[in-house]
Structure formats: structure tokens, C-alpha cells
Amino acid sequence: MNYSKHILVTGGAGFIGSHVVRRLVKNYPNYLIVNLDNLTYAGNLENLKDVEGANNYRFERADICDAAALKRIFNEYHITDVIHLAAESHVDRSIEGPMEFVMTNVVGTVQLLQAARAVWGQEPNHVFHHVSTDEVYGSLGDTGLFEESTAYDPRSPYSASKASSDHFVRAYFHTYGLPIKMSNCSNNYGSHHFPEKLIPLMIHNIIENKPLPVYGKGDNIRDWLWVEDHASAIDTIFHNGRVGESYNVGGLNEWTNLELVHYLCRCMDEKLGRPEGKSAELITYVTDRAGHDKRYAIDATKLATELGWKPSVTFEEGLNLTIDWYLANQDWVKKIGK
């Protein structure tokens, strides 16, 4: 079959990546979707069981730092576009071992940019969409929102590595004319999320009657984005965003970590048939994370006004869908936890 686009999705077996791959495979049968993933601890092909047999889907296990592998994949599949999600992404892990984050997030991104530039040259009609995080902007006070023009001020090795990758992507646009698009998102939640992250960790620990660890006083604030809404935003930006531009993607809601954990406890008590307040007894306060940013909040006005995107669910709706998925897919959680 002649496909109109041959899209390489990096990190496509991960949490956000698997939702993007699934959406593209199902919604665009005239596109060939090539999923490149190194299947490190957070990459899991179980996430894509429902599309692995699709005619327009291919999987390649490779490291984005491997220039020879990238060259082969670009040439073999005639890659026309890239959606780059592959990254080391857990802040705590970056504090313990920053070099992995430098290699994957910085060096890997530059290898990918080099591969795209080598194959595409100055040809028009390509897109290199780099997916990044709001953490590159640093920490907000009690007021204000991150805008696309907000100065970068990363505080952790993770956010520093992502900020560096963002700068390289922009540099390749300005220096070489590589047709890039960028997006920076707030905290994602939803199905297929690796259990070390806040929401799946809390759901799992509530089910198992284990402590619910909350950093510091639990007053750090995050803006939460349902992962399927993020996938739709990436789809929208990839197809309709302006080349050379970046777009902030947010869920348009802010919760303190403690408020979120209490809400999860109430929902879980109801769904598990426990007395109200039972799960909240598991909340345990632990020493705050080093360099823990106080507040993140995204201004997604540009994405809404230019491209017409907005979240499809409220946080409460998305959280209920997420809890129901984890309760119905405990086998997935147990396999991941091994």
C-alpha cells in the first residue's frame, strides 16, 4: 500500500507514546506508523496489544542514541515525519542518576535531529514534532501561568535535560531550516501509566492497603492533563500547528498533591466498598524531594485560539475513567511491577 505519510513515533511503547500510536494507527489508516522504542523499564508492548496486528503499524526496538540504527530506520521505512516522545522522564530517577537523562534526552534528541536532517535535507512537507514538558519553565509562585514565551528555568536534572533538548530542536530550525513543531505539556494521567508515578502509585497502594507517600506538606500544585486529551493535542499540533512554533498543552485545572490524594481516596473507598475515610488513613508524609518545584500551571490559550483544541473531560471525569481502568486491569499492573 502507498501511504501518504511514514511517521516515526519514538517512545511509542511508553505511557503517552502508546496513546499517540494507538490514535494515529486507528484514525489514519493511510499513514504508516513506525514505533521506535528501546523497551527500557517504562516501555511496554502490552500497551499496544490492540493495534500490534494493524496493517499500518510497525515496531522497531532501537536506542535513539544509536545513529546507525536511526539511519537504517529512516531509510528502510522512508520516514517522512517524526513525533518524538522517547525520554527518561522520572524526576526522582534523574536525581539519583542524571547521566542517563543527558544521554537519552539530550544526545538522543540530537541524534534524531541529525538523522532527520540527513534524509530530508531542505525538502518541504516534513514535520519533526518534539514533545516536551512544562517543567522546563521552572516553578511558579501563587499566581501566573506558564506561557510559550516564559523564560526557561529548569530545577531538576530531568527538566534541565528536557530544556536542553528543546533548545537543540529550536536551533536545528533556525540553523538548518528543519521543519520543527514543539509542545510542552503539564502532568499527564490515564491508563497504561507506569506505577511509580503519583496517580497510579496511589491507586495501587490503596488497593493493597499500603502507605500513600506524600512529599513534604503535600502543597505542591500541578495542572493535570488526561493522556488521551494530550494525544489529541499532539495530533492537532502535528497536522495544523505552525512550523517553528511551540504550543503549551494543559488540562486547565490545578490541584495540590494532597487534595488529589484525598480525592483519590474518596473515589477508591466508594468503588471498593470501603467506609468513607478508610483509605485516607494510609496517607504518610515523607521528606520532600530535592528541588521540588512548588507550582506548575499551563496557559493553553494559544493552542485553543489558533488550533481550536480544548480538554474533552474534566479532571474528575478523567480520574474516574483512570481508576476504573486500573481496577479492571490489575494483571497489567502486576506484570509491570515485576
Q: Residues with catalytic annotation?
A: 134-135, 158
What whole-number distance in Å separates Cα of residue 207 and Cα of residue 273? 11
Listed residue (5, 11, 6) closest to 35, CA to CA: 11
Non-local CB neighbours of 111 within 8 Å, separated by 6+ positions: 64, 65, 66, 67, 70
Cell 480544548 -> residue: 310
In the structure grid, which three cell numbers stand for residue 113, read together?
535531529
Scanning the chain, the segments in alpha helix (DSSP H) are 15-27, 67-76, 91-96, 98-101, 108-120, 157-176, 198-207, 227-240, 257-272, 301-307, 315-328, 330-337
* Residue pair 250/223 in contact by the 8 Å Cβ criterion: yes
With contact defined as beta carbons under 8 Å apart, do 187 and 133 qualify? no
In angstroms, rounded to a whole number, what is the distance separating the alpha carbons of residues 29 and 5?
10
Q: Which of 310, 319, 301, 289 is nearest to 139 (CA)?
A: 289
- Residue identified by cell 514538558 is 133
How far apart, in Å, are the Cα atoms of 71 and each of 78, 126, 166, 186?
10, 17, 22, 32
Please state, in angstroms and rounded to a whole number, the distance separating the CA atoms of residues 79 and 56.
13
Q: E strand or H helix at 8, and its extent? A: strand 5-10
Contact 172, 84 (CB under 8 A): no
- Among 308, 137, 171, smallest CA distance to 244 is for 171
Q: Are the beta carbons of 54 and 34 closer than 8 angstroms?
A: no
